[in-house]
Amino acid sequence: MKLIFLGPPGAGKGTQAVKIAKRFQIAHISTGDMLRAEMREGTPLGKEAKGLIDRGELVPDDVILGMVKSRIQKEDCKNGFLFDGFPRTIAQAEALEAISAIDRVINIEVPTERLISRISGRRMCASCGAGYHASTYADANCKCGAALYQREDDKEETVRNRLVVYERQTKPLIDFYVKKGLLHTVNGNAEIDTVDAAIRAVLMK
């Protein structure tokens, strides 16, 4: 199974992607997580991406496509994969068509006014990259023991820019995938398990 999770920042793509990837035994490919790993390791790619990410801008298409192409060759993608945060532009979606077929695109819809409060409560682990929400996890440390921090790009001013970038560059993908007959929209403004059940219902169809 080859899936794409689409939606604005804060829609819950990452949270839902972890659950679905585990249930269907497919690889969870988050281009944002891959870029943050490059940043943590201080690689040239990580250094190049940092300024753009911290301002809420997108990383160039060719950089992302290079990363994705090599990622899907890995052993854990044999059974399929789930893209979380990719594609983010029409150019990426068109390039993806030449790389791999996709079975379904899940569009997770959440009202814009809910997104900022969701994102401002997000906390990340500085070591393993796990994500939490302050409203449901009060501890200052990750379950792995390392300290949690707030992503630079989860601060309010950057979030506002990320939402503008989403509207301009990523939202047109909804129409792109409607036209391909691949898009399924689920209501993301609900409890985590309710959204998970809605996504599973789409995947069982």
- Exposed (0-12), middle (13-18) or buried (19+): which is 131, by Cβ within 10 Å? middle
Residue closer to ligand AMP, measured from CB, 26 or 35:
35
Binding pattern for the stretch 87-126 against ligand AMP, x by CB under 6 A and - elsewhere:
xx---x----------------------------------
Please identify, among the stretches 19-27, 73-81, 82-90, 172-180, the one whose residues bind ligand AMP according to the rule CB under 6 A: 82-90
Counting contacts by CB under 6 A, is residue 67 touching ligand AMP?
no
* CA–CA dist 87, 150 (Å, integer): 24
Considering CB under 6 A, how many residues would be counted as binding ligand AMP?
18
Q: Are 172 and 90 in contact (CB under 8 A)?
A: yes
Q: Which helix (H) or strand (E) holds 158?
A: helix 156-165
Counting contacts by CB under 6 A, is residue 58 touching ligand AMP?
yes
Listed in sequence order, the residues at least 6 apart from 83 whose beta carbon sits closer than 8 Å to its beta carbon are: 3, 4, 5, 29, 31, 68
Counting contacts by CB under 6 A, is residue 64 touching ligand AMP?
yes
Q: Which residues are catalytic?
A: 13, 88, 122, 151, 162
